[in-house]
Amino acid sequence: METFLVIIVIAIALGFDYVNGFHDAANSIATVVSTRVLTPRTAVVWAAFFNFAAFLVFGDKVATTIANDVVVQSVLSIGVIFAGLVGAILWDLITFWFGLPTSSSHALVGGIAGAAVAKAGFDVLISEGLRKIGIFIVLSPLIGLAMGLILTLGIFWVFHRNRNLQRLNRGFRTGQLASAAAFSLGHGANDAQKTMGIILALLIASGHAASNASTPLWVVLSAHTAIALGTLTGGWRIVKTMGSKITRLQPVGGVAAESGAAITLFATSAAGIPVSTTHTITGAIVGVGAARRLSAVRWGVAGRVVWAWILTIPGAFAISWLTFLVVDLLA
């Protein structure tokens, strides 16, 4: 029976990963599609391939952070992880319904913390790990913004003799293939690892893995496959809005934004820090707009990111807390 429950919760975790790919693919391919470098269908195949290939490049440090640094391992159980996932998924659906930009990553952390607290109180929270995640919730969009802006200025400085912007943009159309690939690699690395972390925690909690075990290969492959399939099947449906939602991007700006966000994701993934890929690329796009002038940025979208910072973890925390109480009552 317990093995059956473990399989069910793993399936829910992979479903969460699939939806993440489905929803976030637009971030990495919007500019390639809006500038017609690739057709939507080719672009999602491109992004999905690099989402999957991320497992070859990055280790499992983010997964280890999710599994070991959010709550103490002894409190983790199938019920806690199930309630944590349900809280994160419901929060994502509620915010999707109300059109609020949310972060699946923050929802996952809030969800696991809420379910664990419902089981054993606030003492089970690991303040050091949560503080690290909390600090980078604020820092990652700011780093993305600075990187997007600096890269834009750098590109214009290097090519300042080329006064024909149209010709410069034509040259950068192919550059977008590389920057979109880099961002998809970073997205696959950071986001798939969060699911890997949840499955690893579940395997440890149910006695299917030792407490100091590294992530099994089948977990790595299934998490990257789920996010890649999500990208492949859903990304193109919502791709249209992202390229012009925050600021109107040209190929030069697209390369700067995607490269800036990719550098931020590479660095945080290598350091084992889970961050929101959506907030990172949003920051980088704002940075590209700010390189021209502040009025080129639609600040309403940036303001909604700040609201997402404030609301997501407490919201997912509360739902998971309640879900665990219900699960505990029924068990």
Binding to other proteins by residue 310, rule CB under 8 A?
no
Q: Nearer Cβ to other proteins, position 8 or 138? A: 138
CB of 314 to other proteins, least distance (A): 18
Please count the other Cβ atoms lying within 10 Å of the Cβ belonging to residue 164.
9
* Among residues 157, 164, 293, 329, the one that binds other proteins under rule CB under 8 A: 293
Which amino acid type is present at position 162?
A: N
> Helices (H), strands (E): how many in the chain?
12, 0
Size of the site for other proteins (CB under 8 A): 16
Q: How far is the CB of 133 from other proteins (least distance, A)?
A: 11
Nearer to other proteins, 244 or 295 (CB): 295
Q: Residue 78 or 146: which CB sits closer to other proteins?
A: 146
Tallying the residues shown for the chain, one arrives at: 331
Q: Helix or strand or coil: residue 35?
A: coil
The alpha carbon dihedral of 241, 148, 248, 98 has a sign of positive
Buried b (16+ CB within 10 A) or exposed e, 167-186: ebbeebbebbeebbbbbbbb
Question: Minimum distance from CB of 73 to other proteins (Å)?
Answer: 21
How far apart are CB 34 and other proteins at their closest, in Å? Answer: 25
In the region spanning residues 107 to 146, those forming contacts with other proteins, defined by CB under 8 A, are 128, 131-132, 135-136, 138-139, 142-143, 145-146
In the chain, helix, strand, coil percent, each to 5?
Answer: 85, 0, 15
* Contact string 247-286 vs other proteins (x = CB under 8 A): ----------------------------------------
Residues in contact with 308: Cβ distance below 8 Å, sequence separation at least 6, in sequence order: 95, 100, 101, 102, 103, 106, 279
Among the listed ranges 50-58, 109-117, 209-217, 289-297, the one in contact with other proteins (CB under 8 A) is 289-297
DSSP 8-class letter at 99: T
Q: Which is nearer to other proteins, 5 or 150 (CB)?
A: 150
Q: Given candidates 29, 33, 116, 149, which one binds other proteins under the rule CB under 8 A? A: 149
Among 290, 305, 316, 319, binds other proteins (CB under 8 A): 290
Binder of other proteins out of 1, 210, 217, 294 (CB under 8 A): 294
What is the spatial distance between Cα 69 and Cα 126, in angstroms, rounded to a whole number?
6
Contacts for 77 with CB less than 8 Å, ≥ 6 apart = 119, 205, 206
Name the residues that contact other proteins, by CB under 8 A.
128, 131-132, 135-136, 138-139, 142-143, 145-146, 149-150, 290, 293-294
